Amino acid sequence: MKAVRIFEHGDIDVLKYDEYEFPEIGEFDVLVKVKATSVSGWDIKYRKGAWRKLNEGKALLPGRKGFPLPQQLGRESAGEVVQVGNRVSNFEVGDRVLGLVHPENSLCENAIRGLGNLSTELDYPGHTMFGGNAQYISRPEHYFMKLPENVSFRSAAAGAWAYPTAHRIITDRLNVQVGDVVFVSGSSGGMGIATIQWANLKGALIIGTTRNSDKIHELERLGCDKVVNTSAPVNEVVNEINEFTKGRGVDHAIEYTGASNIQEIILKTIRTGGTICPVGGDMSSNPFPVRVIDFTRLELNMVGIRGSRLKDQVAFLWALSLGTIKPIIFKTMPLNAIKEAHELVENGKDVVGKVMLDPWVH
Ligand SMILES: NC(=O)c1ccc[n+]([C@@H]2O[C@H](COP(=O)([O-])OP(=O)(O)OC[C@H]3O[C@@H](n4cnc5c(N)ncnc54)[C@H](OP(=O)(O)O)[C@@H]3O)[C@@H](O)[C@H]2O)c1
C-alpha cells in the first residue's frame, strides 16, 4: 500500500511517499481503508524533531512514550472498515469510522479519575504508533468510533483533533457561559476556528486575533464578534479590546500562539476573576509572564489543557451530524503531494482551515 513515513527528523525531504507492507491485523484489530487524513501542526513538529528537542526525547507525560522512528504521521483519519479480527465485537466490514486522536485506556489511573484525556499505557496514532497518512491502517477496535450516517469522512477527519480539544476547553476547563467574552488568539488556526464555533454555540462574545488584516473578514464570517490585528502596538490592541468590552475586560483568554505580545495583551485585558488557558506553549519557549501579584490583584485563574476525553469526541460527532459545527477545509491534496502539503501548513500565509490528504487520488 502507499503511505508516507519518516525515518529521520528534518525538512520536507524526510517525508517518504512509497509502497510499504500492508498492516498486520491482530484478533482485536480493525483494518480500515483510509478515505481522508490530514497534515496538522503536530505532524510538522514531529517531522522536524521539535517535540524531541523540547523534552530531550522523553515523553511529555509520565507513562507515555517518547517519539519513535520510523513514524507514519497523521493524527487524524477516517475511513471504511474492510476487515475485522476474530475477537472484534463492535465493528463489522462496511462500517464508516473515525480514527480517534485521543483513544482512552479505561483501566489506567487517570481515566478512572475522569481524566481519560491523560490516559497512559496506550499508544497514540501518529505519535507512538503509525498514523493515518496511508491507504490502510490497522488498530485495536477501541481506537475507532462509528461515524453518523450524514457525516462525511473528510469533515470528520478534518475536525477530529481540534474540535474535541476545543470542546473540552470551552465546556470543561473554562465552563463558558452565555454572554461571556472569550479571547481566542491565533484564531485562524485549526484550534482557533474550532474554539470560535463552540464558543458561539455557548452564546459567548468572541474576540479573535490575526497578524494578517486579509483574514479579518473571514474570521468575522466564521463567528468572531471582533478581530484585532496583533501586528499593531500592544497598547493600541488593548484599547480596542477595552472599547469592545466597555472596560469590563475579557472573561476567558485562550492563547494558541506563544507570542509574547499576545500574552501581554491578555494580562492587560483579562477581567477580575478571569481565566487564562495557555495552549500554544510549543510555538515558543517563552514563559507566560504572569506574576504572583496578578493572581492576588485579579484573583486570576490559569488552567492547562491536554487533549480531549471520549465524551468530547462523542460531542464532536454529534454536533457534526446536527450541522451545528463545520470544520473548515482549506485544501485537499493527494497523499503523494505530502511535501507541498507540509509546506503549506508550515508556511502558508493565507491558510484558514485544514489541509487534507486523499490517499486514493494521484
Ligand atoms: N494542549 C492540547 O491539547 C493541544 C491540542 C491541539 C493543539 N494544541 C496546540 O495549540 C496551538 C494551536 O494549534 P493550531 O493547530 O491551531 O495551530 P496553527 O494552525 O498553526 O494556528 C495557529 C495560528 O496562530 C497564529 N500564529 C502562529 N504563529 C504566531 C506567532 N508567532 N505570533 C502570533 N500568532 C501566530 C497564526 O495565525 P495568523 O497568521 O492569522 O496570525 C496561526 O494560524 C499549537 O501550539 C498546538 O500544538 C494543543
pLDDT in tens, 120-146: 889 999 999 999 999 999 999 999 999
Write out the three cell numbers for 77: 483519519
CA distance 196 to 328: 12
> Do the Cβ atoms of 97 and 79 come closer than 8 Å?
yes
Average pLDDT over all residues of the chain: 94
Show the ligand 1 pocket: residues with CB < 6 angstroms.
41, 161, 165, 186, 188-192, 210-212, 215, 256-257, 259, 262, 279-280, 282-283, 305-307
In which band, very low, low, confident or very high, does the pLDDT at 61 lie, cut at 50, 70 and 90? Answer: low
Residue nearest atom 10 in ligand 1 by C-alpha distance: 280
State whether 120 and 197 are in the same domain.
no
Alpha-helical (H) ranges within the chain are 41-48, 50-54, 109-112, 153-159, 162-168, 190-201, 216-221, 234-244, 260-269, 292-298, 310-322, 338-347
pLDDT at 351: 85
State whether 141 and 70 are in the same domain.
yes
State whether 130 and 256 are in the same domain.
no
pLDDT at 101: 96
State whether 147 and 186 are in the same domain.
no
Which ligand 1 atom minimizes the distance to the CA of 307? 3
- Our count of domains for the chain comes to 2
Q: Is residue 311 part of a domain?
A: no
* Domain's final residue, options 263, 287, 302: 302
Q: Is residue 307 part of a domain?
A: no
CA distance 264 to 289: 8
CATH for 199: 3.40.50.720
Helices first, then strands: H and E counts in the chain: 12, 15
Q: Is residue 223 part of a domain?
A: yes
What is the average pLDDT across 170-189?
A: 97
Domain that holds residue 97: 2-160+328-358
Residue nearest atom 1 in ligand 1 by C-alpha distance: 306
Q: Is residue 41 part of a domain?
A: yes
State whether 186 and 259 are in the same domain.
yes
Statement: residue 251 has pLDDT above 90 = yes
Write out the three cell numbers for 152: 462525511
> Do the Cβ atoms of 273 and 296 come closer than 8 Å?
no
Statement: residue 64 has pLDDT above 70 = no
> Do the Cβ atoms of 147 and 153 come closer than 8 Å?
yes
Q: Is residue 310 part of a domain?
A: no
State whether 334 and 349 are in the same domain.
yes
State whether 226 and 151 are in the same domain.
no
> Do the Cβ atoms of 182 and 347 come closer than 8 Å?
no
CA distance 73 to 185: 26
CA distance 210 to 230: 6
Contacts of 81 (CB under 8 A, 6+ apart): 30, 31, 32, 91, 92, 93, 94, 95, 96, 97, 144
What is the average pLDDT across 303-307?
A: 94
Residue nearest atom 35 in ligand 1 by C-alpha distance: 257
Statement: residue 281 has pLDDT above 80 = no
Side chain identity at 200, as an amino acid letter?
N
Three-point CA angle 208, 214, 219, nearest 5°: 30
Nearest Cα neighbor of 184 from 169, 171, 173, 172 is 169
What is the average pLDDT across 225-249?
A: 98
State whether 298 and 180 are in the same domain.
yes
Tell how far the Cα of 279 is from the centroid of ligand 1, in angstroms.
8
State whether 333 and 252 are in the same domain.
no
State whether 63 and 113 are in the same domain.
yes
CA 224 to chain centre: 19
State whether 91 and 186 are in the same domain.
no
Q: Is residue 185 part of a domain?
A: yes
CA distance 249 to 60: 34
pLDDT at 225: 98
The predicted-structure confidence for 100-124, as pLDDT tens digits, reads as follows: 999 999 999 999 999 999 998 899 9
> Do the Cβ atoms of 119 and 107 come closer than 8 Å?
no
What is the average pLDDT across 51-73?
A: 74
CA distance 135 to 64: 27
pLDDT at 362: 83
Q: Is residue 318 part of a domain?
A: no
State whether 50 and 128 are in the same domain.
yes
Q: Is residue 265 part of a domain?
A: yes
Which ligand 1 atom minimizes the distance to the CA of 45? 47
